[in-house]
Chains A and B, each alone.
Chain A
Amino acid sequence: MTRPSPFSVRGRRALIVMRDEREISIVRRQLNRLGMTIAECDPAEAPPSDETVDVIVVDADSIPIKSDPATVWKSNAPIIALIGTETPSRLKWLLDLKPASFLVKPLRSAGLYTALVVAFDCAQRRLDEAAHIEKLEDRVRSRRVVFAAVLQMMRGHGLSEADAFTLIRQTAMRHRTTIEQLSAEIIAAGGMPNRTTRTA
C-alpha cells in the first residue's frame, strides 16, 4: 500500500467548523486554491455523520469550553485548531481535542497549507504508531506462550533457558516464522513440530 504524501492535498476533503464569515471565506478560498473539497458545519450543530472527511478545521473560540459537543469532534480525522484565545483554560480544552496542528488567528492565506501538511503527516504518523503499538502489544501478550514453550524445551531436551530460547529463535528463523508463532505450535504439538518446509 502506498501511503499518500502529506504534501499532496488535492482532492482531500475538509470539514470546516467555524462561525465567523470573514474567517470562513479566507479558509474556503485557500482550500479551493489547493484543490480540496469542503464540507461546512456550524459549531453549535452536530457534524454530518455520513460524511467522510480527511481533516477538520475547528475554530476553538466558537465552541464553549464546558460544552459536550466538543467531544463530537474527537473523530479519526486530524484536527486543525484555529486559536484566538490563548488562555490556559481554552488551551486545556484544545489539548483534549488532540489537534494535529493549529493556526493562530487572525487568519491569512499563508499558513493554512503548512497546517494541512503537518496535520496529514501527523495523522499518518499516528496510524503508523498505532500499528506499531498493536504489534508490540501482541508480543507482550504472547510472552506467556513463549515462556511456556521455553519451559517445554528445557524439560523435554534438558536444555538451559538460554539454550532453549536460542533453539526456538533459530528454528523460527529457519522456518521464517515468528518466535511467538513457533512457540504456540510447540505448545500445541507438545514439542518441536516437524516442519518439512525448510527454506533456509
Chain B
Amino acid sequence: MMAGEMRKSALMAVDEINQSDEFDFTFAAHLRDPGGVVAAYHTACDELIREEQVDHIVGCYTSASRKQVIPIVERTERLLWHPARYEGFESSDNVIYVGAAPNHNVVPLVRHMLDHISSDVFCIGSNYVWTWETNRVIREIVTSASGRILAERLLELGETAVDHIVKEIIDRKPPVVFNTLVGESSYVFMRALHEATTRAGLTIPVLSCSLCEPELKLIGSAASVGCITSSAYFESIERPENRAFVARWKARHGADSSPSVDGQSTYVCVMLLARAIRRAGSADVGAVRRAAANHRYDSPQGPIWVDPDNNHCFLTPRLARSVPGCQFKIFWEADAPERPDPYLSNLDLTAIGMGAEKGNDAMTKRSNHLRIVK
C-alpha cells in the first residue's frame, strides 16, 4: 500500500511544480515499480540512470531496498531522495534522508511512555531490521529508567497468525504494548487485540511509530481508536500549508482519501529537490546537494531543511492518539524542528531515566541500585 501512496504523492508534487510559475523548469517523471522485490531495486535504478539519464531518484520504502540502491547512486554520483522513516545508523553522501531519524520518531514515544504510562512494556514487531533496532533503543532507554521489557515477540513479515500473542497479552496484562509490526500483520493484530481486550474488559494502551491514516482505515474504525503514535506528519496538523495540502490532496484523490506520513514525505522530497534545483540553477548532483543544505521549506509538516552534516532532515516530532473517524489527534509536538541524530549519538539516557523517576511515587517504587533484569 505504501508504494502506491508514495507514488501518488510524488506525482502530485511533480504536477504542482510543472504547473507553477515559481519554477522555470519542469520535471519529467520516470516510473519504475520493483514491487518490493529487493533484488529488482538495483536493476530498476540501473535502468533509470543508464537508459533514462536520471539524476535524482525519489523512493524506496524499506531499508533493504535502499541498501540495494545506495551502491549505484554512490558509484554514478546520483542522489536518492528517501522519504521513509528508518532505523538510522547510515549516512550516505548520495542519499537525502527526508523521513524521520530514530531521535525524531522512537525516542519521543518511549519518553512519553516512561513519563505517562509505564516503564514495563510488551514489545511485538515484524521480524526485520526496523523492529530489531527499535526494540534495542526501547530496551536501552527503558532499562536505564529501571523499567523492563516484559516480552519481545516477533512475527515474520506478512504473518497474520497473531492469536497466540494476543492471548499472551490478555493473560499477562502488560501496562503497555509497543507495536512495530508492519503491513497486514499490524492490521490483523490491532483488530484481534481490540476484540480480545474488549471481551476481557481490559484497557491496554498500544504504541506505534508507523501507523498512518490510510492504515487506520484498513484496521477498521473501532479497532483503530486509541493508538498512541509518533510521527512527523499527521493529516490533522493545523498549519495553513497543511490545510492547503490536504485540500489539494482530497481534490485530486477524493474526499474520502487521506494523505499519509510517507506520502507527504515523498511530496516533500520532490519539493525539496525542486527548490534545491531552483536555488542551484542546475540539476547537477553536487550543486543540488549544496543548495539543499540548510534551505528551509515550509512544508505541510512544517519547516524542514537538510542538515548537511549527515544529509538527514531537521523536522518536528509529534505524538498523537488515533480517534474515531480514522484520524489522529495531536497532543504533543516539539517546540522547533529537531536536528537529526541518525546514530543517536546525542541520546542522553540519564536525562530520560531521571524523567521517569521524578515523582516521589516512582522514587519509592524503584531503587537506583542494581537489580536483576531477566
Contact = CB atoms under 8 A, between A and B. Distances in A.
A86 B88 CA distance: 9
Nearest to B128: A64
Interface string A57-87: 0000100111000000000000000001111
A13 interface: no
Contacts of A28: none
A89 interface: yes
A87 B39 contact: no
B67 A88 contact: no
B89 A87 contact: yes
Contacts of B129: 85, 87, 89-90
Interface in A86-120: 86-90, 92, 105-106
A86 B343 CA distance: 10
Nearest to B43: A22
> How would you classify the secondary structure of chain B's contact residues: helix, strand, loop or mixed?
helix
A45 interface: no
B129 to A, nearest CB: 6
A64 B88 contact: no
A15 B39 CA distance: 23
Contacts of B128: 64
Contacts of B127: 64, 66
Contacts of B39: 20-22
Contact of B133 (A21, A66, A87, A105): A87
Given A87-B89, A89-B133, A89-B136, A22 B67 contact: no
A65 B154 CA distance: 11
B347 to A, nearest CB: 11
A60 B90 CA distance: 16
A41 B70 CA distance: 26
Interface size class of B (residues with CB under 8 A): 20 to 34
Given A66-B154, A106-B70, A106-B71, A87 B42 contact: no
Contacts of A89: 129, 132-133, 135-136
Contacts of B144: none
A34 B154 CA distance: 41
Interface size class of A (residues with CB under 8 A): 10 to 19
A85 to B, nearest CB: 6
Contacts of B71: 105-106
B132 A105 contact: no
Q: Specify which of B39, B42, B129 lies most central, judged by the most chain A CB atoms within 10 Å of its CB.
A: B129
B42 A66 contact: no
B84 to A, nearest CB: 15
B63 interface: yes
B262 interface: no
B67 A87 contact: no
A20 to B, nearest CB: 7
Contacts of A88: 89, 133, 136
Contacts of B213: none
B244 to A, nearest CB: 38
Contacts of B135: 89
A65 B132 contact: yes
Interface in A18-32: 20-22
A83 to B, nearest CB: 11
Interface of A: 20-22, 61, 64-66, 84-90, 92, 105-106
Of all A-B residue pairs in the complex, the 9 with the closest CB atoms, nearest first, are A106-B71, A89-B136, A89-B132, A87-B133, A86-B89, A87-B89, A89-B133, A65-B132, A84-B67
Given A86-B89, A89-B132, A106-B74, 19 more contacts: A20-B39, A22-B42, A64-B127, A64-B128, A66-B127, A66-B132, A66-B154, A85-B67, A85-B89, A87-B129, A87-B132, A87-B133, A87-B136, A88-B89, A89-B129, A89-B136, A92-B136, A105-B67, A106-B70
